[in-house]
Amino acid sequence: MSDIERQQRFWETKTLEEMDQGEWEALCDGCALCCLQKLEDADTGEVFYTQLVCYLLDQENCRCTDYENRSVRVPDCVKLTRESIPEFHWLPKSCAYRRLAEGRGLADWHPLVSGRAESVFEAGISVQGRVMPDNIVPEHDWEDHIIQWVER
């Protein structure tokens, strides 16, 4: 493997801890699964995903419409950091960060591998076309919107 190829496929040659900020950000496959609202069973700690997605998400292209200010506008917006790597097991099984943390590499449909952002949609991994904004459903009814299609 040449030096350039090695740099291009940084996710195979560096650990999560070794990646620079640009590489870390590029790992996100754009599925937006982590933008889904989740409910936790107070007794068992079990987490359930709902089909309700953060109201700031552009559901067509699965992008945050205010990424810069997301932490202010949505205080519980999840920010993945190197310090939180040991907790990545709560993420969807397909999430690039969890995959690398578990030594599973990136899937063929990951945009870094395919070279195309659309491949995550075509593989049926993203939330595209199967969610609704969380601000149109009262919080006490979120339980009615629990889903099973997010692989854990």
**Residues contributing to the site for ligand SF4 (CB under 6 A):** 28-35, 54, 56-57, 64, 70, 74, 77, 80, 91-92, 95-97
> Minimum CB separation from ligand SF4 for residue 88, in Å?
9
Cβ proximity to ligand SF4, 3 vs 79, nearer residue: 79
> Minimum CB separation from ligand SF4 for residue 43, in Å?
26
> Minimum CB separation from ligand SF4 for residue 92, in Å?
5
The single residue listed with the structure tokens 């740099």 is 7
Cβ proximity to ligand SF4, 2 vs 81, nearer residue: 81
Cβ proximity to ligand SF4, 45 vs 72, nearer residue: 72
What gap in Å lies between CA 131 and CA 126, rounded to an integer?
Answer: 10
Cβ proximity to ligand SF4, 9 vs 90, nearer residue: 90
> Minimum CB separation from ligand SF4 for residue 1, in Å?
25
Could you tell me which of 34, 85, 105, 98 has the C-alpha nearest to residue 63?
34
What gap in Å lies between CA 126 and CA 55, rounded to an integer?
Answer: 16
Cα distance from N-terminal residue to C-terminal residue, the chain? 34
What gap in Å lies between CA 144 and CA 137, rounded to an integer?
Answer: 10
Burial label for 132, CB within 10 Å (0-12, 13-18, 19+), is middle
> Minimum CB separation from ligand SF4 for residue 113, in Å?
13
What gap in Å lies between CA 15 and CA 17, rounded to an integer?
Answer: 5
Cβ proximity to ligand SF4, 43 vs 75, nearer residue: 75
